[in-house]
Structure 1
Amino acid sequence: MFQNRFGAVARLAELGCVLAALTLAAATAARADGCPKPGDEIATDRPDVTNSSIVVPVGSLQNENGINLTGRSSGRSIDGSNSRWRLGIAPCLEVLVDLPSYVSTVKSPGASGFSDVAPGIKWQISPLPGKLDLSITAGVALPTGAAEIAGRGAQPYVQLPWSWELHDGWGVSGMFTEFFRPAELTGRHMSEATFVIEKKLTERISVFTEYVGDYPDGARPTQLINSGGLYRITPTQQVDFHVAFGLNRNSPNTIVGLGYSFRVDGLFR
């Protein structure tokens, strides 16, 4: 018991160090000439689980939304609108917030309710040589939703999304995430790893295939293969879809999702 508590405290201390480093880095911000500009195409954190390694431009507000239908052996559930708001506040720096989504069972008895609201901050460290982009995100899910859906207490997290542009429209990306749940009796920590192979078919159409693995302490992992695509209606509007399949018994059988995102530029003029 003592070791578990000590481990939780140590992880929170590590999170505090990361937040402090992030604040210091944001204060010294990266070179503005390498940061996203309002004329750039929209880059979203969906439809794949892997978030974009690119932040939104300064003075731009981006809204990302989606709905998912999840199938398990015990039944089905639907959740939405999975809304994330992102605001560029400085070169290579944005603040973001995940609004509560409603989860409802469709064919089986189970918990229904809202997820937590989760504010965060994201700093784009790159670009680095070789067209490698890297960001760091730190946030916390606040205990505003139903405990049966979102869990108990505040739940901090730290993410490292990255991407590497290859040739002929090909690219690879991924993300490492550490979730902390200090208020839970078990499963107080979970690691997540993703890896994506993507292809830009045209100037407006892209497709991807992604591996997603969640590895909680003291429990079996969940593993998914997630594939889908996106279509940019305009440089600042996007529609997308994805279909995921579970790779083990602990994972959902299928997940099907649709989404729409848009960005408004020039708010700070």
Structure 2
Amino acid sequence: MLALLMLASLGARADGCPKASDEIATDRPDVTNSSLVVPVGSFQSENGLNLSTRDGGRTLDGSNSRWRLGIAPCLEVFVDLPTYFANIRPPGVSGFSDVGPAVKWQISPMPGKVDLSMTMGVLLPTGPAELAGRGAQPYLQFPWSWELHDGWGLSGMFTEFFRPADFTAKQITEATFVIEKKLSDRISVFTEYVGDYPQGGVPSQLVNSGALYRLTPTQQIDFHLAVGLNHNSANYIVGIGYSFRVDGLFHQPVRSGGRTP
């Protein structure tokens, strides 16, 4: 039923969906994902490197790659590739994270208003359990954004992670909230709250701030620094990233006065 509703609405609202002429919109460097999908026929690669400390330990992880592909108006598929965590100073664990395929549907493509998307994905058990958790971990996610005046904007995300094979926390709720400011056509800054609330467990909370710079309309570099707010969070996380988009991968038929070559 959900698939039928999605397909029925895509054609009617295709004119409001992201286009190749739009600037790149990424799911990084904040935890909150973009409420916008990539344009149909576009491939987007988002990558990053983080250094984090927790309980005296130090870990370097990368490349934090997410590959996104627009397959229809307002609809994309993406995959989070396994990230390698290299423990530099104990305590900590080294190894790869899980691979995570997902589908993302932009529900409300209304420029200048509140945009909302829905993501359905699953983390497949490809990494070690002590690092990535046990078994497959499906999740349901709702990122939103609200464009205000003078370059200001608000955004956030609500996520439910389900961990059927976990012995302790079967479910984790994550909530984020972002205040962002566009300083120029190319530069934006943000401050974000991130809270993870495991079922029956102690939450972790942090504040994440950073900036992004668009080298071109389809290329971006970014920086972020996160600081933990309680003992169950990382002490700090500092990271950099680079993202790019390639457009026009799919053949687009001629709609007016012509025929498909």
Q: What TM-score bracket applies, with the shorter chain setting the length?
A: over 0.9
TM norm structure 1 = 0.90
- Kept in 2, the 8 Å contact 1:199–1:206? The answer is yes
Pairwise CA distance, 1:39: 0.5
- Which stretches in structure 1 are left out of the alignment for 5+ residues? 1-19
Cα distance, 1:149–1:174 mapped onto 2, change above 3 Å: same
In the alignment, does 2:154 pair up with 1:172?
yes
Pairwise CA distance, 1:146: 1.3
Pairwise CA distance, 1:108: 1.0
Q: What are the equivalent positions in structure 2 for 1:156-195 lying under 5 Å apart?
A: 156-195=138-177
Per-residue CA deviations over 1:12-70 (Å, capped at 9, x if unaligned) read xxxxxxxx52x223221331000000010000000000000000000000000001100
- Which stretches in structure 2 are left out of the alignment for 5+ residues? 252-261
- Kept in 2, the 8 Å contact 1:29–1:91? The answer is no
- Kept in 1, the 8 Å contact 2:59–2:92? The answer is no
Aligned to 1:29: 9
- Kept in 2, the 8 Å contact 1:63–1:83? The answer is yes
Paired with 1:110 and 1:191, the residues of 2 have a C-alpha distance of 24
- Kept in 1, the 8 Å contact 2:158–2:174? The answer is yes
Aligned to 2:125: 143
Aligned to 1:254: 236
* AA at the equivalent of 2:56: S
Aligned to 1:203: 185
Per-residue CA deviations over 1:158-207 (Å, capped at 9, x if unaligned) read 00000000000000000000000001111110000000000000000000
In the alignment, does 2:198 pair up with 1:230?
no
Paired with 1:264 and 1:43, the residues of 2 have a C-alpha distance of 13
- Kept in 1, the 8 Å contact 2:57–2:92? The answer is no
Paired with 1:180 and 1:139, the residues of 2 have a C-alpha distance of 11
Pairwise CA distance, 1:148: 1.3
* AA at the equivalent of 1:33: D
Pairwise CA distance, 1:218: 1.7
Paired with 1:24 and 1:165, the residues of 2 have a C-alpha distance of 30
Paired with 2:245 and 2:54, the residues of 1 have a C-alpha distance of 34
Paired with 2:212 and 2:169, the residues of 1 have a C-alpha distance of 34
User: For 1:28, what is the secondary structure of its paired residue?
Assistant: helix
- Kept in 1, the 8 Å contact 2:156–2:177? The answer is yes
* AA at the equivalent of 2:6: A
Pairwise CA distance, 1:101: 0.2
| Match 1:214 to one of 184, 196, 216 | 196
- Name the Cα RMSD after superposition: 1.1
Pairwise CA distance, 1:74: 2.4
| Match 2:44 to one of 46, 53, 62 | 62
Paired with 2:217 and 2:110, the residues of 1 have a C-alpha distance of 24
Paired with 2:111 and 2:53, the residues of 1 have a C-alpha distance of 42
Count, aligned residues: 249
Pairwise CA distance, 1:127: 2.3
User: For 2:102, what is the secondary structure of its paired residue?
Assistant: strand
Aligned to 1:4: none
* AA at the equivalent of 2:75: L
Whose helix proportion is higher, 1 or 2?
A: 1
TM norm structure 2 = 0.93
Which stretches of structure 1, 4 residues or more, deviate above 4 A after TM superposition? Answer: none
Higher mean C-alpha deviation, range 65-74 or range 178-187: 65-74
